[in-house]
Amino acid sequence: MAAAVANSSGQLFQLFRSGEARTRNDLQALTGLARSTVAFRLDALLRSGYLLEDGVTSEPGRGRPSVRLRVNDAQTTILVADLGATHGRLAVCTAAGSVLEERVIESAIASGPRVVLDRVHKLFERLLRRAGRDRASLRGIGVGVPGPVDHETGRIARSISMPGWDDYPVADHMQEIYGLPVAVDNDANLLGLGEQSAIYPDVHLLLFVKVGTGIGASIVVDGQLLRGRYAAEGDLGHAKIIGVQEVCSSCGAVGCLAATASGRAMVRDLSRLGHQVHTSREVVALVRQGNPDAVRIITEAGRALGSVLSTAVSLLNPEVVVIGGDIAHAHEHLLGGIRETLLPLTQPLATAHLTVAPSRLRDHAGIAGAALAVREKIFSAAAVDADLERRARDQQSVVGDVILQ
Ligand SMILES: [Zn+2]
């Protein structure tokens, strides 16, 4: 299928990404393009660093050995930020997803986009230097945020969980600094994408639930995120639970799942009981110490999550439900609570083969997902063609300047 329509350099590049083509001859056989056309397109891909030569391959009966070509993702650098409500993680990665440098940052999302993104920019520069990568190898930026994002424009769709970020153009902000493609997405989306790709590559439908300061979820189908029309998909934290009287501190409604099962709700409940806790991580620490209040509260949170998840599981029939986020670090009690309500409330057909598991990538899932989103952004056929066109234009204008002088 791909071969029938492959013509542009970007489209030919996809045949190397999928592994269908490994040599010049493969490309010609797959596309039926003239030898000169293939040579011209490949030259552009090699010169601009999308492909590199990687030894020779000799196949029996195919005549002389031919040069093997492969996607140059190890030398291509990307910068990714996984920003939560209270802290985040920044990394310099290769486009293949290997982390070269990484650091955890405290970043109060409530201090607003300019403060947070300027800090991210400064630290990106420092990390890039530490990784020993030059600016020329940099191809794209990825940012995960703890709120809904308009995927097409990279703007924050709505900001009840991100005060001061309403409609903020995060992608444009980073694009202005770096002049490179920027992928921006909701953190739960990136967590789900990262986990699915690294741990469950063959799973058809995966549901990822992030339990951190708030609660969010994502649905990954055959490696692709399922998106709603207005970026509100996966906003499980504000599903209502009948009987819960607590007011949700982010949306103000009564009875939200997040008002009873989020890290913020657990901090509130434990504080009321006289415990000195301020963050999700401190809640987890208390659970780990075996504190009976903390264990009871996290188990109850799990039960509330399980009852909401029973609807999601009945509707979607996922093979895997992954629980991630800070609170999932105390997963024995949380998952115990989830199973307690999820299983009896859901038809056995939907749960017989269902895996409910803590995130295996843990704190790295967001970085892995953001790197994946950037790779798709910079290596898609359209992106590669646009980049090559821009390079050709730049070259022409340089030549023009020289002639004018
Ligand atoms: Zn709410």
Question: Measured in angstroms, how far is the CA atom of residue 146 from the centroid of ligand 1?
Answer: 14
Question: Measured in angstroms, how far is the CA atom of residue 231 from the centroid of ligand 1?
Answer: 16
Question: Measured in angstroms, how far is the CA atom of residue 360 from the centroid of ligand 1?
Answer: 28
Question: Measured in angstroms, how far is the CA atom of residue 256 from the centroid of ligand 1?
Answer: 5
The residue-averaged pLDDT of 245-261 equals 92
Q: Write the CB contacts of 267 (distance below 8 Å, at least 6 apart in sequence).
A: 277, 278, 279, 280, 282, 283
Question: Measured in angstroms, how far is the CA atom of residue 247 from the centroid of ligand 1?
Answer: 8
Residue 57's alpha-carbon distances to 22, 25, 230, 402, in angstroms, are 9, 11, 49, 42
CA angle 246, 252, 253 (to 5 degrees): 65
Q: How many alpha carbons lie under 13 Å from residue 267 in its C-beta half-sphere?
A: 17
Question: Measured in angstroms, how far is the CA atom of residue 278 from the centroid of ligand 1?
Answer: 20
Per-residue pLDDT for 159 more than 80? no
Question: Measured in angstroms, how far is the CA atom of residue 91 from the centroid of ligand 1?
Answer: 31
Question: Measured in angstroms, how far is the CA atom of residue 47 from the centroid of ligand 1?
Answer: 52
Per-residue pLDDT, 232: 83
| pLDDT single digits (tens) 67-92 | 999 999 999 999 999 998 888 999 99
**pLDDT band, residue 403 (cuts 50/70/90):** low
Mean pLDDT rounded to a whole number for the chain: 92
Q: Write the CB contacts of 316 (distance below 8 Å, at least 6 apart in sequence).
A: 205, 207, 219
Question: Measured in angstroms, how far is the CA atom of residue 265 from the centroid of ligand 1?
Answer: 11
Question: Measured in angstroms, how far is the CA atom of residue 165 from the centroid of ligand 1?
Answer: 18
Q: Write the CB contacts of 403 (distance below 8 Å, at least 6 apart in sequence).
A: none
**Which of residues 66 and 50 earns the better pLDDT score?**
50
**pLDDT band, residue 249 (cuts 50/70/90):** confident
Per-residue pLDDT for 183 more than 60? yes
Beta strands 215-221 and 155-156 are unpaired
Question: Measured in angstroms, how far is the CA atom of residue 345 from the centroid of ligand 1?
Answer: 23
The DSSP H or E segment spanning 45 is helix 35-47
Structure tokens at 58: 């000799």
Question: Measured in angstroms, how far is the CA atom of residue 185 from the centroid of ligand 1?
Answer: 21
Q: pTM for the full model?
A: 0.90
Residue 376's alpha-carbon distances to 95, 370, 373, in angstroms, are 10, 10, 5
Question: Measured in angstroms, how far is the CA atom of residue 251 from the centroid of ligand 1?
Answer: 4
Per-residue pLDDT, 2: 44
**pLDDT band, residue 106 (cuts 50/70/90):** confident
Per-residue pLDDT, 1: 44
Query: Residue for token digits 């990568």?
Result: 133
CA angle 99, 104, 108 (to 5 degrees): 135
Question: Measured in angstroms, how far is the CA atom of residue 54 from the centroid of ligand 1?
Answer: 54
Structure tokens at 364: 């790295």
Per-residue pLDDT for 291 more than 80? yes
Question: Measured in angstroms, how far is the CA atom of residue 235 from the centroid of ligand 1?
Answer: 9
